[in-house]
Structure 1
Amino acid sequence: MSRPTPSFYNLAWRWHFYAGLFVAPFMILLALTGIIYLFKPQLDPLLYDHLLNVTPAHHSLSADEQLSRVQATYPQGHISQYLPPINPQRSGQFVVHNGGHELNVFINPYTGQVLGEQDAKLNLQAVARTLHGELMIGTLGDRLVELAAGWGVVLVVSGLFLWWPRGQSAAGILWPRLSRRGRVLWRDLHVVTGFWGAALLLFMLISGMTWTGFWGKQYADLWNRFPVAMWNDVPKSDIEARSLNTANRQTVPWAMENTPMPVSGAHAEHMAHAAHTSGPAAPGITLQAVVDTATARQVEAGYSITLPTTATGVFTIAVFADDPRNDATLHVDQYTGTVLADVRWQHYSNVARATEMGVMLHEGKLFGPLNQIVMLLVCLMILLSSVSGLVIWWKRRPQGGMGVPPLRHDLPTWKAGVAIMLALAIAFPLVGASLIAVWGLDRLWLMVRKLRPDERLS
Structure 2
Amino acid sequence: MKQPKVNFYNLAWRWHFYAGLFVAPFMVMLALTGVIYLFKPQLDPLMYGSLLNVPAGHHNVPADELLKRVKDAYPQATIKQYLPPVNAERSAQFVVLDAGNELNVFLDPYHGDILGEQDAKMNLQAVARAIHGELMIGTVGDRLVELAAGWGIVLVVSGVFLWWPRGQAAGILWPRLSSRGRVLWRDLHAVTGFWGAAFLLVMLLSGMTWTGFWGKQYAGVWNVFPDAMWNDMPKSDVEARSLNSATRQTVPWAMENTPMPMSGDHAEHMAHGGAQAGPAAPTISLQDVQDIAEQRKVEPGYSITFPTTATGVFTIAVFADDPRNDATLHVDQYTGDVLADVRWEHYGNVARATEMGVMLHEGKMFGVFNQIIVLLICLMILLSAVSGVVIWWKRRPQGKLGVPPLRHDLPKWKTAMVIMFALAVAFPLVGASLVVVWLLDRLLSRFNRQTESVSSSS
TM-score by length of 1: 0.95
Tell me the residue number matched to 1:434. Answer: 433
Tell me the residue number matched to 1:18. Answer: 18
1:100 positional shift:
1.1
Tell me the residue number matched to 1:354. Answer: 353
Tell me the residue number matched to 2:250. Answer: 251
Aligned AA for 1:110?
Answer: Y
Tell me the residue number matched to 1:265. Answer: 264
Structure 2: state its 5+ residue gaps: none
CA distance in 1, matches of 2:362, 2:352: 15
Aligned AA for 1:91?
Answer: S
Distance 1:55 1:455, change over 3 A: farther
1:416 positional shift:
1.1
Aligned AA for 1:148?
Answer: A
Tell me the residue number matched to 1:86. Answer: 86
After TM superposition, list the pairs within 5 Å mapping 1:36-435 onto structure 2.
Answer: 36-167=36-167, 169-266=168-265, 276-411=275-410, 414-435=413-434
Distance 1:116 1:453, change over 3 A: same
Are the equivalent residues in 2 in contact too, given 1:153–1:205 (CA < 8 A)?
yes
Residue 12 of structure 2 aligns to a residue whose secondary structure is helix
Aligned AA for 1:442?
Answer: D
Are the equivalent residues in 1 in contact too, given 2:6–2:407 (CA < 8 A)?
no
CA distance in 2, matches of 1:455, 1:244: 61
1:181 positional shift:
1.4
1:415 positional shift:
1.1
Distance 1:235 1:275, change over 3 A: farther
Deviation by residue 1:12-59 (Cα, 9 ceiling, x = unmatched):
111111000100000000000000000000000000000000012211
Deviation by residue 1:170-207 (Cα, 9 ceiling, x = unmatched):
11111001111111111110010001111111111111
Aligned AA for 2:427?
Answer: F
Aligned AA for 1:34?
Answer: G
Are the equivalent residues in 2 in contact too, given 1:265–1:271 (CA < 8 A)?
no
1:276 positional shift:
4.8
Deviation by residue 1:309-330 (Cα, 9 ceiling, x = unmatched):
1000000000000000000000
1:94 positional shift:
0.3
Are the equivalent residues in 2 in contact too, given 1:281–1:310 (CA < 8 A)?
yes
Residue 80 of structure 1 aligns to a residue whose secondary structure is strand
Aligned AA for 2:437?
Answer: V
CA distance in 1, matches of 2:265, 2:452: 73
Distance 1:402 1:271, change over 3 A: closer
Aligned AA for 2:173?
Answer: L
Are the equivalent residues in 2 in contact too, given 1:277–1:312 (CA < 8 A)?
no
1:165 positional shift:
1.9
Aligned AA for 1:399?
Answer: Q
- RMSD value, Cα: 2.3
CA distance in 2, matches of 1:218, 1:59: 47
1:410 positional shift:
4.2
- Which 10-residue stretch deviates more, 317-326 or 413-422? 413-422
CA distance in 1, matches of 2:195, 2:268: 64
1:408 positional shift:
1.6
1:401 positional shift:
1.1
Structure 1: state its 5+ residue gaps: none
Distance 1:274 1:451, change over 3 A: closer
Aligned AA for 1:322?
Answer: D
- Which 10-residue stretch deviates more, 3-12 or 37-46? 3-12
CA distance in 1, matches of 2:271, 2:405: 72
Pairs aligned (count): 454
Are the equivalent residues in 1 in contact too, given 2:5–2:411 (CA < 8 A)?
no
CA distance in 1, matches of 2:176, 2:67: 62
1:6 positional shift:
3.6
1:383 positional shift:
0.6
Residue 185 of structure 2 aligns to a residue whose secondary structure is helix
Residue 450 of structure 1 aligns to a residue whose secondary structure is helix
- Which 10-residue stretch deviates more, 244-253 or 154-163? 154-163
Distance 1:451 1:395, change over 3 A: farther
Residue 154 of structure 1 aligns to a residue whose secondary structure is helix
1:274 positional shift:
12
1:454 positional shift:
13
CA distance in 2, matches of 1:164, 1:454: 36
1:164 positional shift:
1.3
1:269 positional shift:
9.6
Aligned AA for 1:38?
Answer: L
Residue 29 of structure 1 aligns to a residue whose secondary structure is helix
Relative contact order higher in (CA < 8 Å, ≥ 6 apart): 2
1:275 positional shift:
7.1
Deviation by residue 1:269-300 (Cα, 9 ceiling, x = unmatched):
99999975421100010000000000000000
1:443 positional shift:
1.8
Aligned AA for 1:37?
Answer: Y
CA distance in 2, matches of 1:270, 1:23: 51
CA distance in 2, matches of 1:158, 1:272: 52
